[in-house]
């Protein structure tokens, strides 16, 4: 993350204690307003999506290799596929946490921004800030919607992989491998759909970050 590493212990203590408001106040006092934190977390989530996308592509390659197995050590193939499943689960867990972090700081930012509108004595400046808040909310809504659409595509893919790995664990023979052939087409389609949604979400993240940088 781009939040300063030297603040790790302080931040960890506040997060552990569940004092998010204190955490944000501390970060702001140290020169890291919620706006900057939101951009950082969107970038982190974008990077996590890219990593997850690459991982699922690799997992598909491994599954295809198992299905097209033509001789060798079956146990080794199972071990390789199990390792890819574990990595996919890990990347998914990290991605979900990142999305949650984005939602948390965005909620805090918009709540603060809205409450501060009443502090303006200049109506023109207040209306300008109110308009910018609405525009940012709309951009954010598109972003989080894209992130969550991509996230919903992950579990069906993981579910299929889990079933296949579990099946192979107790059926390490050529006949069992052959029985998975029918699954390959649907797995490829599911992962293609997942990757398409992830790429759309990554593009939305880039657009959001660029828009925030111009303001």
Q: Are 98 and 86 in contact (CB under 8 A)?
A: no
CA distance linking residue 24 with residue 105, whole number of Å: 8
| Residues found in the chain | 215
Q: Over 70: is that where the pLDDT of 14 sits? A: no
Q: Are 81 and 168 in contact (CB under 8 A)?
A: yes
Q: Which residue has the higher pLDDT, 17 or 202?
A: 202
pLDDT single digits (tens) 38-77: 999 999 999 999 999 999 999 999 888 888 776 667 788 8
Q: Are 98 and 44 in contact (CB under 8 A)?
A: yes
DSSP-based three-state secondary structure for 147: helix
Return the pLDDT at 192.
94
Q: Over 90: is that where the pLDDT of 6 sits? A: no
**Minimum mean pLDDT range among 34-38, 126-130, 179-183:** 179-183
Q: What is the dihedral of CA 74, 75, 81, 83, to 10 degrees?
A: -160
Return the pLDDT at 202.
97
Query: What is the pTM (predicted TM-score) of this model?
Result: 0.84
Half-sphere exposure of 179 (CA within 13 A, CB side): 11
DSSP letters, 26-71, are: HHHHTT--HHHHHHHHHHHHHHHHHHHHHHHHHHHHHHHHHHT--S
Q: Tell me what the mean pLDDT of segment 116-128 comes to.
A: 96
Whole-Å CA distances, 62 to 33, 82, 170: 44, 10, 19
- Percent of the chain topping pLDDT 90: 62
- Percent of the chain topping pLDDT 70: 89
Model confidence at 5, pLDDT cuts 50, 70, 90, reads very low
pLDDT single digits (tens) 153-188: 999 999 999 998 998 888 877 777 777 777 888 889
Q: Over 90: is that where the pLDDT of 196 sits? A: yes
Half-sphere exposure of 109 (CA within 13 A, CB side): 23
Return the pLDDT at 2.
53
Mean pLDDT (the chain, rounded): 87
Q: Over 50: is that where the pLDDT of 9 sits? A: no
Model confidence at 114, pLDDT cuts 50, 70, 90, reads very high
Q: Which residues contact 18 (CB under 8 A, 6 or more apart)?
A: none
CA distance linking residue 9 with residue 129, whole number of Å: 35
Model confidence at 16, pLDDT cuts 50, 70, 90, reads very low
């Amino acid at each position: 993350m781009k939040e300063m590493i030297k603040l790790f212990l302080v931040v960890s203590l506040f997060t552990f204690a569940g004092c998010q408001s204190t955490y944000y106040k501390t970060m702001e006092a140290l020169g890291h307003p919620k706006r900057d934190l939101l951009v950082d977390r969107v970038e982190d989530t974008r990077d996590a999506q890219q990593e997850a996308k690459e991982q699922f592509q690799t997992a598909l390659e491994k599954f295809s290799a198992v299905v097209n197995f033509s001789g060798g050590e079956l146990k080794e193939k199972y071990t390789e596929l199990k390792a890819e499943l574990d990595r996919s689960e890990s990347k998914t867990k990290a991605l979900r946490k990142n999305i949650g972090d984005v939602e948390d700081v965005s909620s805090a930012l918009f709540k603060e921004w809205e409450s501060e509108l009443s502090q303006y004595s200049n109506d023109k400046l207040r209306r300008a800030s109110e308009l910018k808040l609405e525009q940012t909310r709309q951009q954010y809504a598109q972003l989080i919607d894209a992130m969550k659409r991509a996230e919903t595509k992950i579990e069906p893919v993981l579910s299929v992989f889990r079933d296949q790995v579990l099946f192979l664990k107790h059926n390490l023979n050529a006949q069992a491998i052959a029985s998975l052939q029918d699954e390959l087409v649907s797995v490829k389609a599911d992962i293609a759909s997942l990757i398409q949604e992830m790429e759309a979400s990554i593009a939305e993240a880039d657009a959001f970050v660029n828009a925030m940088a111009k303001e």
